[in-house]
Amino acid sequence: MERNTISAGFKNALTRLVAGRDVPAQIRPPLLTLLRQRFRRNLGLRAIALLLAIGLWFFVNAGQRGALVPLRVPISYRALPAGMVIVNQRPDAVQIEVRGPRTLLSLLDPDRLVLRLDLSGVTLGQAVFKIGPEMFNVPRQTDVTRISPSQIVLDIDRITDRQVPIHVNVQGEAAPGYRVAAARANPLNATVRGPSRYVVHIDNVQTVPIGVAGAKADLEQTVDLMAPSDRVTLEGPRAVQAAVTISAVIAKREFRGLPVEVRDTDYKSRVEPRQIAVTVSGPVNQLSSLDLHGAVYVTADGAEPGSHDLPVQVDLPDGIQLVRATPDNVKVRIYRGRRAGSG
């Protein structure tokens, strides 16, 4: 009881001292001034320290609150068996949403959360991969709440090779009266490589166009090959030697009413019929200017006076061929009288 009484008395004395009630009047003003100076000293630093403490408290408490953050995570496809290929459009990333404390979420790096898909067991056809939260290496106290897409479907095909003919791509028109008679490449075939479903439908590989506008003679040049599609590649040489053959356009022309001449005889003669029709063939440029008057004849060399059945002959220039003469034989009557001016 006595100890409690002393303690209470001490507290009262200390309170009165701080309040200045028990301080002698002559020292009360200096003491109060000293206390005020000590309180005001470094007041700015104390204020800054207080603000930092309050900010740190808010930061720590706010960082522990739950939050959601969307992330785009890249996909890595690995261990695809040799000779296999993915033919459909495959996604290169998935969108996920992660929930957890803000302080942890702010440290997440999408590039370190790479989704790795092991393709070592795939076969021909479709391969389906279910994407679950456990496939992402996120920190503790966080979890993946949403994944898009939630599954990935890959279309797997086998790589194959095939040899197909090379088609020389000719562009333009030859000169009037001429045509492209042939076009061929050396080598004749090219090898294409790609998914079997596309390779099987390729019939040929084309060269880049070769211009033949106005050509009258053969052309030969080295040309590049064009890949049949963006899914198929060319194996081997990418250029070939192409030869284009230019030839004259061949046509037929009929000449009517051509007189038949008797040659190689000194006797007078008469022909029945006197005129015939002749059909010839050759380059159209030559046929357009061809004149066969005086070119049709029969030869009576060694024929005695009398009646003879002789074949019709036609003098033709180089490049022109006789198709038919109508008739192809004529009757020639040779008389005993000699022609004027003969012997």
DSSP string, 2-29: HHHHHHHHHHHHHHHHHHTSSS-TTTHH
pLDDT recorded at residue 103? 87
CB neighbours of residue 309 within 10 Å: 9
The tally of CA atoms less than 13 A away on the side-chain side of residue 86 is 17
Spell out, as residue ranges, where the chain has pLDDT lower than 50. 1-6, 10, 14, 17-18, 20, 23, 57, 60-63
Contact 244, 186 (CB under 8 A): no
What is the fold of 161-248? RNA Polymerase Alpha Subunit; Chain A, domain 2 (2.170.120)
pLDDT recorded at residue 208? 97
Give SS3 for 22: coil
Domain ranges of the chain: 2-62, 66-149, 161-248, 251-338
pLDDT recorded at residue 335? 93
* Token digits of residue 49: 């320290």
pLDDT recorded at residue 6? 45
Contact partners, residue 141, CB within 8 Å, separation at least 6: 100, 101, 104
Contact 140, 105 (CB under 8 A): no
Contact 157, 85 (CB under 8 A): yes
Whether omega before 273 lies within 30 degrees of 0, making that bond cis, reads: yes
Contact 322, 316 (CB under 8 A): yes
Tell me, yes or no, if the two domains 66-149 and 251-338 fold the same way. Answer: yes
CATH code given to domain 66-149: 2.170.120
- CA separation for the pair 42, 34 (Å, rounded): 14
pLDDT recorded at residue 134? 93
CB neighbours of residue 225 within 10 Å: 21
- How many residues are listed for the chain in this entry? 343
* Extended beta strands in 225-303, E state: 233-235, 239-248, 250-259, 261-263, 267-272, 275-283, 296-299
* Token digits of residue 222: 């080295």
Range 251-338 has CATH code 2.170.120.30: yes
